[in-house]
Amino acid sequence: MIRQGVAVHMFDRDLQEVIEKENKEFLEQATERAAEIEEEPGKVALSPLENRLPTVELGDFSDDALETYRQQAKIADAVDSDEFNRRLLRQGLLKEEAGILVPTGFGFLLFGREPRTAMRQAGLLGLIHYPSGQSERREFDEPAVMIPDLVEKWLKDKLPNVFDRGQAHRQERPALPFEMVREAVANALIHRDYSIDGAKCQIVVTEDTIAVQSPGEPPSPITLKQLQDFSAPMLSRNPELHFVFARMGMAEEQGLGLVSIRDRAKELGLPRPRYTRDEPYLVLTLYRSAEGATKALGEDTLKALSKSERKGWQWLAARGKAKSGEYAETMGVEARTSRRHLGHFEELGLVRRTGSGPSQRYEVT
């Protein structure tokens, strides 16, 4: 419908959950029927990655990647067994041509021993910018199912002594919110636009932030504002990838991983994660400390904020949105001071005003 110029608006996430709950039995049956349907001759592929890749054979799959999937997804069938391969066939990760099983693009991304030999945009680039001014990079060219764990291990190995503020402090808080990073990396690999072959996913770590960059715009009809509000409906650009990562416990079963990342940040007392666009990337910024959202502001913006405004911005960045009265009560300031602070934030482009009258709120952009 979208390709034919029809405007499509999806239900909000909370209403989608109600619909799914009320139709749970029907949806489960429909999913089972879809999994049993063999590929029809002449079927139109929605993505080129549904087709086989030239010069790639089943033997180019990594045994370690397949075994990782089997174990984490709790699949009883042995790797390379007929039952296991039929499972991959039904999932769209293999195709049968002239009686021979060959990998699809999605299958090679997930399990290929060297995915970048056939797809330049595969994998992920990791960058750490140290406070000393030095940087370190690491190319993750392994099968996609192995990358989130490899990224986590790399960061754990590199970061414990990076920002040394005392042993007691390091014990109190890990160097990074690793579970959030792991899910953000998985989501970037799952939902990116693989038609952009000149860009790959990236993770950039600084003293205050972790930015996970995923090539492409939000999958239509999802908007950037819905992502920023953490209200985006459940939709995946690459459902074949999403299904595998979800079975392995590295992604939400439905949706874009928004809720778990937002809620985990709140539990850790960290500022609300932030979605932005930096062509051609969709960027998810995670903050490493409660002060991270303030310290990550540009130099000019920081200079424009008073000491009390910086304190207020730190609180608002973690909360995401608030009314003027809530800000005044929490910060212990008068109503007119609250309005002045929030108005200044709006002038600087840090928040936007929504609603009017008693329901008026200020939302972090």
The answer, yes or no, to whether residue 325 has pLDDT greater than 90, is yes
Q: Which of 53-62, 252-261, 270-279 has the lowest mean pLDDT?
A: 252-261
How far CA 273 is from CA of 246, 255, 280, 354, in Å, comes to 21, 16, 20, 20
Instruction: Please give the Cα distance from 238 to 228 (Å, whole number).
Output: 21
pLDDT the model gives residue 230? 83
Q: Which residue has the higher pLDDT, 175 or 97?
A: 97
Alpha helix locations (H) across 3-98? 13-22, 24-36, 63-72, 82-90
Lowest mean pLDDT among 12-16, 58-62, 142-146: 12-16
147-151, 161-165, 183-187 — which is least confidently predicted? 161-165
The rounded mean pLDDT for the chain is: 85
Which one-letter amino acid corresponds to residue 88? L
DSSP H or E stretch at residue 341: helix 335-347
* pLDDT reported for residue 210: 95
Q: Do domains 124-164+171-290 and 297-364 have the same CATH topology?
A: no
Per-domain residue ranges of the chain? 38-117, 124-164+171-290, 297-364
Which three-class secondary structure state does DSSP give residue 357? helix
Domain range 124-164+171-290, CATH architecture: 2-Layer Sandwich (3.30)
> Distance between CA 280 and CA 277 in Å, rounded?
8
Distance in angstroms (rounded) separating the CA atoms of residues 42 and 146: 33
CATH number of 297-364: 1.10.10.10
Residues 362/316, Cβ–Cβ less than 8 Å: yes
The residues, ordered by sequence, that sit 6+ positions from 302 with a Cβ below 8 Å of its Cβ are: 294, 310
Which DSSP string do the residues of 233-265 spell out, in sequence order? -S--S-HHHHHHHHHTTSS-SSSSSHHHHHHHH
- The DSSP string of 246-314 is HHTTSS-SSSSSHHHHHHHHHHTTPPPPEEEEETTEEEEEEESSTTHHHHTS-HHHHHHS-HHHHHHHH
- In contact, 110 and 241? CB cutoff 8 Å: yes
Q: What is the pTM of this model?
A: 0.78
Name the 3-class secondary structure at 107. helix
Report which residue type is found at 113.
Answer: R
- Per-residue pLDDT band for 166 (boundaries 50, 70, 90) equals very low
**What is the distance between the alpha carbons of residues 116 and 23, in angstroms, rounded to a whole number?**
41
Window from 14-28, 205-219, 251-265, 320-334 with minimum mean pLDDT: 14-28
What is the per-residue pLDDT across 196-249, written as a single tens digit (0 to 9) for each? 988 999 999 999 899 999 999 998 889 998 898 888 887 889 999 999 999 999
Q: Please report, in angstroms and rounded to a whole number, the separation of the first and last CA atoms in the chain.
A: 31
* Least confident residue range of 17-21, 24-28, 101-105, 241-245: 24-28
Q: Which residues of 309-328 are buried (b: 16+ CB within 10 A; e: fewer)?
A: beebbbbbbbbbebbbebbb
Q: Tell me the pLDDT tens digit for each residue of 184-195.
A: 999 999 999 999
